[in-house]
């Protein structure tokens, strides 16, 4: 696996390829990331991953400084799944001057849910993803459905800017008990890790309620919030939304249940597409 630390190095390595398949990450890689790389491999003529912890998408009180950085094991894992090229710029290589030109995604999609609780998050994500796309010039880019809204915001950005990139959404990889794999799971104590599965269970209870014919969306959402609250979580939201645009649903539309909640110091997100 080649490792490019700067944009010129990346361009040199990519010179002869025309159809890169690209997996952007913030590192601390787990099976969810590796599944994206494996899915990318047959798509393009070269498989590229990036590791970059993007300061722009963190609020000042968030975990930018403590975000796990596990370089050696990340490289080993990427090699083990046949990644061809790793782009791992430092901040100066990607942002040599203050990044004052930013991408502001569709407010209807980006200012709700995660964007409501993490203002400027999606501006930071879209800005870095646009820049990474400009560097790698991928033909395919893969994102996990674990970050469901992020995937939708990026799809929308790519469509609106007519970028010649196919965005591929990949299913959420889970631990055996159902907890969505996430780098931030590493922040959990042993007791919190055992409790963490309750977020996916609460989403499943929302899906079960719909499947059993209940249509009072507000009541289903309130029950999910209470169920986590009662166990000592601090839920930000547990909501049923239209899969098409993440707006509040009417009966009969394909839905997704989305949740974000804090367990101790750790904020987890998850979601579940529902065919009711
Ligand atoms: N469990 C998972 N299954 C599938 N894809 C995933 C999973 N977790 C993360 N991804 C995807 O991997 C890509 C990189 O994500 P990132 O590096 O932020 O990892 P993360 O585990 O989501 O980290 P964090 O805990 O900070 O949210 C994103 O497209 C993300 O959606
Ligand atoms: C897409 C991304 C790599 C941009 O920093 C990040 O938001 C992530 O890892 O999901
Ligand atoms: N996985 C999404 C990136 C973030 O939470 O910052």
33 is catalytic: yes
**What is the DSSP secondary-structure string of 36-70?**
HHHHHTTTSSEEEEEE---GGGS-TTSSTTTS---
- Spatial distance between the Cα atoms of 203 and 224, rounded to a whole number of angstroms: 7
Question: From the alpha carbon of 54, which atom of ligand 2 is closest?
Answer: 5
Q: What is the pLDDT of residue 61?
A: 94
Per-block mean pLDDT, blocks of 10 residues, the chain (276 long): 98 96 98 98 98 98 96 98 98 98 98 97 98 98 98 98 98 98 98 98 97 96 98 98 95 94 98 92
- Spatial distance between the Cα atoms of 138 and 164, rounded to a whole number of angstroms: 8
Domains of the chain (ranges plus CATH)? 2-170 (3.40.50.620), 183-271 (3.30.1300.10)
Residue 22's beta-bridge partner residues? 48, 141
- Provide the residue count of the chain: 276
Q: Is the CB of 267 under 6 A from ligand 1?
A: no
- Tell me what percent of the chain is helix, strand and coil, each rounded to the nearest 5: 40, 20, 40
- Spatial distance between the Cα atoms of 83 and 41, rounded to a whole number of angstroms: 8
Q: What is the pLDDT of residue 251?
A: 79
Q: Is the CB of 183 under 6 A from ligand 1?
A: yes
- Spatial distance between the Cα atoms of 184 and 235, rounded to a whole number of angstroms: 16
Residue nearest ligand 3's atom 1 by CA: 147
- What is the pTM for the complete model shown? 0.98
Q: Which run of H or of E encompasses 237?
A: strand 234-242
């Amino acid at each position: 696996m080649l490792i490019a630390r700067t944009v010129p190095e990346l361009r040199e390595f990519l010179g002869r390829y025309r159809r890169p398949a690209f997996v952007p990450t913030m590192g601390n890689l787990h099976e969810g990331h590796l599944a994206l790389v494996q899915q990318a491999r047959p798509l393009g003529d070269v498989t590229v991953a990036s590791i970059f912890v993007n300061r722009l998408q963190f609020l000042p009180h968030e975990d930018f400084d403590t975000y796990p950085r596990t370089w050696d094991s990340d490289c080993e894992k990427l090699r083990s799944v046949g990644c061809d090229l790793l782009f791992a710029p430092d901040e100066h290589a990607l942002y040599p001057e203050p990044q004052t030109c930013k991408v502001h995604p569709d407010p209807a999609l980006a200012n709700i849910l995660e964007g409501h609780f993490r203002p400027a998050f999606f501006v930071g994500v879209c800005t870095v993803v646009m820049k990474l796309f400009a560097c790698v010039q991928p033909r395919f880019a893969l994102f996990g459905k674990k970050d469901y809204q992020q995937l939708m915001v990026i799809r929308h950005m790519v469509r609106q800017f007519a970028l010649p990139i196919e965005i591929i959404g990949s299913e959420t990889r889970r631990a055996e008990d159902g907890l969505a794999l996430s780098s931030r799971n590493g922040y959990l104590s042993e007791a919190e890790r055992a409790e963490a599965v309750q977020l996916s269970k609460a989403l499943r209870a929302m899906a079960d309620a719909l499947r059993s014919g209940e249509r009072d969306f507000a009541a289903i959402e309130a029950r999910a919030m209470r169920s986590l609250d009662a166990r000592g979580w601090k839920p930000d939201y547990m909501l049923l939304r239209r899969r098409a645009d993440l707006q509040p649903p009417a009966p009969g539309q394909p839905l997704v249940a989305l949740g974000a909640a804090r367990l101790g110091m750790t904020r987890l997100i998850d979601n579940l597409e529902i065919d009711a």
